[in-house]
Amino acid sequence: MGRRAAPWDIAVGVVEQRKLLIVTDHFLHQSGLLDPTKASLQSAGFEITIFDDVVADPPEDVMIACATMAKDAGSDIVMGFGGGSSMDVAKLAAVMISSDQSLADMCGIGKVTGARVPLVQVPTTAGTGSEVTNITILTTGATTKMGIIARQLYADRVLLDAQLTIGLPPLQTAATGIDAMVHAIEAFTGRLRKNPLSDLLAKEALRLMAANLITACDDGQNRQAREAMLLGATLAGQAFSNSPVGAVHALAYPLGGHFHLPHGLTNALMLGPVLRHNMRVAAPLYAELADLILGASIISVDARATAFVVFMEDLMNRSGAPRRLRDCNIPEDSLPRLAEDAMLQTRLLMNNPVKVTQADALAMYRQAF
């Protein structure tokens, strides 16, 4: 008689692989949040190795250290447990276990070769959508972000459990939630790959999160709001995985690279200026989103689009997230360098509905300052 199926098998599909690498960060590991998952997996026969050195905006050396640990342990299945950084590192670890391809050779779109071991993602924040995307973002050098996009980075299974997001502090709840809302907005307004399926996902994601972000920030124990935010973040991830993000992310990345601010916060800081920059082209789309979250109106397209931008700015104000670059100790004399670095994000800028020049980027950083 074969081994009896464990609850874990029902969730992920019966697998032969039993040497599991869990990729997480030090705080989550030490907080005890991982303990019930670890105990359940061990009781189901998994031999567990934990890599908990993930940091925000993970650099290359962290990625290499994770892959090295996985190889040394003989890991044959990988789980990302945490926020976007942990899940991003887990994706590449699942590839690098059986590959000697360098990170530099993987950089770009569709350049990853070979297969990977099974990959499961378990998000503990409602924000990045990394659990359902095929993108990993790493920091190279001192400040530059590198994107790796490949079909191999899609997970085999994703487990959404809102209980894991209960207790996330208000600032992190706000920052990750706004990040997910930006994903939905940029997917819906993308210039190159906007499509009906991504539109549906983006609109439902935005509807869920617009209605529940403040509740989740104000009452972190509200399970219904947490579930709505987690589902919304995942839907937004699916949307932008097919219709990529644009200038908000392009201008956010240098802020994270130079000043090590959380990714969701950098998106929140730049959202208002970019929405206003895009207004002359994206107004009909913003008006459609206004109808979705504010109710249908017979006023003009421009008025509805403006109402949407005002709503998003008010939502961010109410969330408690810092609203100005100066509030995050970013010096004004750094703005020209940030604008210069933003121009390196060509993969993102090309999808923005309105062209962004270096002068435009500097103007938007000044608005955000």
Q: What is the C-alpha to C-alpha distance for residues 131 and 135, in angstroms, rounded to an integer?
A: 10
| 123-156 confidence digits (pLDDT tens) | 999 989 999 999 999 988 766 778 899 999 999 9
Domain(s) labelled CATH 3.40.50.1970 in the chain stretch across 7-159
Please, are residues 187 and 201 in contact by the beta-carbon 8 Å criterion? yes
Residue with tokens 């940091």: 55
Q: What is the C-alpha to C-alpha distance for residues 331 and 77, in angstroms, rounded to an integer?
A: 44
Please, are residues 251 and 342 in contact by the beta-carbon 8 Å criterion? yes
Q: What is the C-alpha to C-alpha distance for residues 222 and 254, in angstroms, rounded to an integer?
A: 34
Over 60: is that where the pLDDT of 15 sits? no
332 — pLDDT class (breaks 50, 70, 90): very high
**Predicted pLDDT of residue 142:** 67
| 272-315 confidence digits (pLDDT tens) | 999 999 999 999 999 999 999 999 888 999 999 999 999 999 99
Q: What is the C-alpha to C-alpha distance for residues 34 and 124, in angstroms, rounded to an integer?
A: 10
Residue 360 per-residue DSSP state: H
Mean pLDDT confidence for 83-96: 96
- The number of CA neighbours under 13 Å toward the Cβ of 30 is 5
**Predicted pLDDT of residue 297:** 82
Tokens standing for residue 271: 């959202």
Q: φ and ψ at 94, to 5 degrees?
A: -65, -30
Q: Has this prediction a pTM greater than 0.75?
A: yes
Distances (CA, A) of 288 to 50, 83, 213, 285: 45, 31, 20, 5
Domain 168-368 belongs to what topology? Dehydroquinate synthase-like, alpha domain (1.20.1090)
| 201-213 confidence digits (pLDDT tens) | 999 999 999 999 9
57 — pLDDT class (breaks 50, 70, 90): confident
Name the CATH code of domain 7-159 (choices 3.30.9.10, 3.20.20.10, 3.30.70.1350, 3.40.50.1970).
3.40.50.1970
Tokens standing for residue 221: 């124990």
- The number of CA neighbours under 13 Å toward the Cβ of 90 is 37
Q: What is the C-alpha to C-alpha distance for residues 66 and 242, in angstroms, rounded to an integer?
A: 28
